[in-house]
């Protein structure tokens, strides 16, 4: 016994009759999230129903909505859709009450979600790490439940972080539990172990057992819990028997007793008791539960005396690991029959991997019996992590492109047309488009097969862009952490310098995961074929030794977003926010529109970017805008595309028509670009959950003011009084047209570009004027058409990007401090 005690540390948290849950508790309406969906799903629970709303209002970064097309919402419910994170992303849930929150995560992978491996944290506690679901266990949902203490004034941030491949979640429940649901102070308890301060731990629910009855589903529980029948856990089955089910209601809400939220009546109306017909009547009933070795557990035993036939009839002992004979004497306190209550313990597990829980008779009881109604076993988690949910990922790029910042209005149109024309004339793959690189290009053997981490070949990759791993190691000083400029689920991004002196951003992905590989290939195939002064250039890639590395030009000024407003993700980093003037903003918009217009109309095979947002527009040292991140892009003729199976993109920017029809068109990019225009004008995020509901979504909020012709009321305070009203009106009109509900009502990028240039002209009346008064939007359409019909005679060949870029590489000037 002594040995046993020295091996086990026990602590008894004895709260049998003192604290109980608040009877005033009303089951909350928030937060129940049907992830990856825009439509609500209603689910029953005992005492009401609960609505899982779509997650459009949240703005998890680096995530996509995915849908199982083999099921319907009727058959699969909340499991038909999911949110998939390719990099760290989070749900930031506002809360309005201090307390312990029940956080329940639902995982039910369908085909495109197999092989996920990830970690999850909530409020800084590590909930799951290296979590994956083996394929042979994917026939039913996996539900993980935690009790998380959260302080009012701090959001409940649930962060999903891919460990190698990606993360996903089908549904999230996060709601406050009644006061006192989990004891949070020692006042009335005996605590003998220092490490079990419940108020600063998360509890991870391991077992929840309905003793003496059958399984209880979420639909019949008061808090949507599941309870599992106990029979499989009984050590010696013949020693116990089911007591017949109690036909009345348990007497809830007695002082010191349990409430219906502590456990539903189905738990308290059933119990196991000693098998009276068994000869060895004097024996304990023992259940054995598998638990982690060497961890601390919170154990709650539920009792309700539906067994005794006489007043103060039954007194018995409860044991954990055969110790602690805790006397259970229901009548002592309540003096009536069928009052539910519970007893809590905190106990360290032993090294066996099991926990024994027993009830057994006492010789001083009037009737020799013992019973149990329910068991909950939860593991204490104290692992803290400091992840930032929304990592900067796009900081990396960069360039030292010296290409000029100011593109004259007429010329910019001309450049596009020029390139467009050239494109038609000569295949884009023309190798002369490539800057000469002094890096080790792939040898001819490399051209035959390129092994990838998962053993497939990477077809059609542009092998002239291959860079050796040795070169990469040299460039990044062996991935020196000091050179790291960004990190995300896909991997880490380093600043580096190639042998030829070119500054680059090196994006290194974790090896061996499906999604990453696809994006890797997409990005190489697309980017290797295009080159434009307003698109971030791919300089090379490396796939040696299981590596997936992309090398881009280095973008010294980071993302557009950083220059518009600081966000949570910027906290702790010195904010790089600089006040961009209206003219600078117009030029940036014009640059990005140029890049996008080129993707849409300048290539033989048009490209739909699919993820236009302010973090994917990067700025070089001269604030020249370039569109980045082509991992989601789709290429091909419009007619041969694009009924898509997975909704991809970023919330706040997603085209509502695309969400409805699943039909992908270039007009979806136009919509997203419209949101970026509002972001630039108003200097606030596309989705801001901290704002009142009508203001959360920038597109909706902005449109409502545009319709009133009062957009000036919500613009960036820094711009107030600095924008020419005509310029503002034109800019606003342009954004409004981009945000039209129907794609066909939206302009194409050429029109947008034209309008933005016009808005810039209106800001500078001294610049060469177009002859049109700024009257109605139709003008821009006509002008765009005229532009196309009348090809310019100006010789702009030197502005053509290929030339400019290749020259740029030889004379790079990089901002070292970035």
Binding site for ligand NAG (CB under 6 A): 129-130, 134, 136-137, 163, 185-186, 191, 194, 197, 199, 212-215, 228-229, 231, 235, 237-238, 241-242, 275, 277-278, 282-284, 286, 288, 294, 312, 315, 319, 321-322, 329, 331-332, 350-352, 356, 358, 360-361, 363-364
Q: What is the 3-state secondary structure (H, E, C) of 382-426?
A: CCECCCCCCCCCCCCEECCCCCCCCCCHHHHHHHHHHHHHHHHHC
Max Cα–Cα distance, the chain, nearest Å: 108
| Close Cβ partners of 297 (under 8 Å, ≥ 6 residues apart) | 206, 291, 346, 347, 348, 349, 355, 377, 378, 379, 380
- Residue 495 assigned ligand-binding role: no
The helix/strand count (H/E) of the chain reads as 17, 35
CB of residue 12 to ligand NAG, shortest distance in Å:
13
Give CA angle at 329 (328, 335), nearest 5°.
Answer: 150
CB nearer to ligand NAG: give 218 or 736.
218
If you ran DSSP here, which 8-state letter would residue 178 be given? Answer: P
Alpha carbons 680 and 562: distance in angstroms, whole number: 11
Other CB atoms within 10 A of residue 31 CB: 21
Q: Could you tell me the two tokens for 272?
A: 């196991």
Residues 6+ apart with CB under 8 A from 345: 11, 12, 13, 14, 298, 299, 300, 301, 320, 324, 326
Residue 468 vs residues 502, 545, 550: alpha-carbon distances, Å = 15, 10, 11
Radius of gyration of the chain (CA): 32
**Beta strands 32-34 and 48-54: pairing type?**
parallel
Q: Output 274 or 414, the one with its CB closest to ligand NAG.
A: 274
Burial grade of 565 (CB within 10 A; 0-12, 13-18, 19 or more): middle
Q: Determine the Cα–Cα distance for residues 345 and 358; give it in Å rounded to an integer.
A: 13
Token pair for 497: 């310098």
CA distance 117 to 489: 11
Residues 6+ apart with CB under 8 A from 361: 274, 281, 282, 284, 316, 317, 368, 369, 370
SS3 476: coil
| 788/2 Cα distance (integer angstroms) | 92
Tokens of 406: 């100011």
- Cα 414 to Cα 418: distance, rounded to the nearest angstrom: 6
Contact assessment for residue 643 and residue 662, using Cβ atoms and an 8 Å cutoff = yes
The residue from 305, 543, 611, 774 that is catalytic is 611
Q: Tokens for 695, please give them.
A: 């203001």
Pairing status of strand 202-210 against strand 228-229: parallel
Residues 6+ apart with CB under 8 A from 238: 275, 278
Nearer to ligand NAG, 115 or 605 (CB): 115
| Active-site residue, 611 included | yes
| Other beta carbons within 10 Å of 206 | 19
Is-contact 741 657, C-beta < 8 A? yes
What is the C-alpha separation between 600 and 417, in angstroms, rounded? Answer: 12
Distance of CA 632 to the CA centre of its chain: 17
Q: Which residues are catalytic?
A: 611
């Amino acid at each position: 016994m002594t040995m046993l005690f020295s091996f086990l540390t026990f602590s008894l948290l004895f709260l049998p009759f003192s604290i109980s849950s608040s009877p005033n508790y009303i089951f909350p309406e928030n937060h129940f999230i049907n992830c990856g969906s825009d439509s609500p799903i209603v689910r029953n629970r005992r005492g009401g129903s609960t609505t899982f709303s779509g997650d459009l209002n949240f703005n998890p970064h680096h995530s996509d909505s995915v849908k199982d097309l083999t099921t319907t919402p009727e058959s699969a419910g909340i499991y038909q859709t999911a949110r998939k994170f390719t990099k760290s992303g989070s749900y930031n849930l506002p809360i309005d009450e201090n307390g312990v929150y029940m956080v329940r995560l639902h995982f039910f992978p369908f085909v495109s979600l197999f092989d996920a491996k990830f970690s999850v944290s909530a409020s800084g506690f590590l909930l799951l790490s290296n979590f994956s679901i083996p394929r042979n266990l994917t026939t039913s949902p996996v539900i993980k439940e935690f009790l998380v203490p959260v302080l009012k004034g701090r959001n409940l941030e649930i962060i999903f972080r891919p460990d190698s491949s990606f993360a996903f979640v089908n549904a999230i429940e996060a709601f406050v539990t009644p006061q006192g649901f989990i004891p949070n102070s020692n006042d009335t308890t005996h605590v003998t172990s220092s490490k079990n301060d419940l108020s600063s731990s998360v509890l991870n629910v391991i077992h929840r057992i309905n003793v003496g009855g059958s399984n209880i589903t979420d639909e019949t529980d008061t808090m949507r819990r599941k309870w599992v029948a106990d029979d499989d856990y009984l050590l010696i089955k013949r020693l116990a028997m089911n007591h017949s089910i109690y036909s009345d209601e348990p007497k809830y809400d007695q002082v010191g007793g349990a409430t219906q939220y502590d456990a539903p009546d189905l738990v308290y109306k059933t119990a196991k008791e000693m098998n009276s017909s068994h000869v060895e009547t004097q024996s304990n009933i023992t259940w054995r539960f598998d638990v982690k070795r060497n961890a601390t557990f919170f154990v709650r035993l539920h009792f309700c005396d539906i067994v005794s036939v006489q007043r103060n009839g039954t007194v018995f002992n409860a044991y954990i690991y055969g110790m602690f004979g805790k006397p259970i004497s229901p009548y002592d306190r309540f003096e009536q029959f069928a009052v539910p209550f519970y007893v809590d313990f905190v106990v360290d597990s032993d090294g066996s991997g099991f926990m024994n829980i027993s009830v057994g008779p006492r010789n001083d009881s009037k009737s020799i019996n013992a019973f149990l109604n329910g068991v909950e076993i939860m593991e204490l988690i104290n692992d803290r992590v400091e992840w930032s949910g929304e990592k900067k990922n796009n900081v990396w790029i960069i360039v030292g492109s010296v290409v000029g910042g100011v593109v004259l209005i007429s010329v910019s149109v001309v450049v596009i047309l020029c390139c467009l024309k050239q494109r038609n004339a000569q295949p884009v793959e023309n190798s002369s488009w490539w800057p000469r690189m002094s890096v080790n290009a792939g040898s001819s053997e490399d051209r035959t097969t390129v092994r990838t981490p998962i053993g497939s070949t990477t077809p059609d990759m542009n092998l002239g862009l291959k860079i050796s791993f040795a070169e990469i190691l040299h460039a990044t000083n062996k991935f020196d952490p000091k050179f790291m400029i960004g990190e995300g689920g896909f991997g880490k991004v380093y600043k580096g310098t190639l042998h030829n002196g070119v500054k680059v951003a090196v994006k290194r992905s974790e090896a061996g995961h499906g999604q990453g590989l696809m994006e890797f290939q997409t990005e190489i195939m697309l980017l290797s074929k295009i080159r434009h002064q307003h698109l971030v250039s791919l300089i090379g890639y490396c796939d040696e030794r299981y590596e997936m590395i992309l090398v881009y030009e280095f973008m010294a000024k980071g993302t557009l977003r950083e220059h518009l407003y600081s966000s949570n993700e910027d906290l702790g980093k010195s904010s790089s926010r600089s006040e961009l003037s209206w003219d600078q903003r117009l030029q940036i918009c014009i640059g990005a529109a140029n890049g996008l217009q080129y993707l849409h109309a300048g290539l033989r095979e048009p490209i739909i970017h699919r993820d236009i947002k302010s973090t994917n527009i990067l700025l070089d040292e001269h604030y020249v805008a370039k569109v980045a991140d082509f991992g989601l892009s789709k290429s091909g003729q419009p007619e041969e595309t694009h009924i898509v199976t997975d909704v991809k993109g970023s919330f706040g920017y997603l085209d509502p028509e695309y969400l409805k029809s699943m039909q992908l068109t270039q007009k979806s990019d136009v919509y997203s670009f419209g949101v970026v225009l509002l972001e630039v004008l108003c200097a606030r995020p596309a989705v801001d959950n901290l704002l009142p509901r009508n203001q959360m979504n920038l597109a909706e909020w902005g449109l409502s003011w545009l319709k009133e012709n009062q957009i000036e009321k919500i613009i960036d305070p820094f711009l107030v009084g600095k924008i020419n009203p005509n310029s503002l009106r034109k800019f606003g009109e342009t954004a409004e047209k981009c945000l039209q509900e129907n794609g066909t009502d939206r302009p194409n990028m050429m029109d947008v570009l034209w309008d933005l240039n016009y808005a810039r002209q209106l800001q500078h009346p001294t610049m060469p004027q177009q002859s049109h008064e700024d009257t109605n939007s139709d003008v821009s359409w006509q002008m765009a058409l005229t532009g196309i019909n009348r090809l310019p005679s100006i010789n702009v060949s030197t502005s053509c990007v290929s030339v400019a870029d290749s020259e740029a590489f030889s004379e790079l000037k990089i901002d070292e401090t970035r």
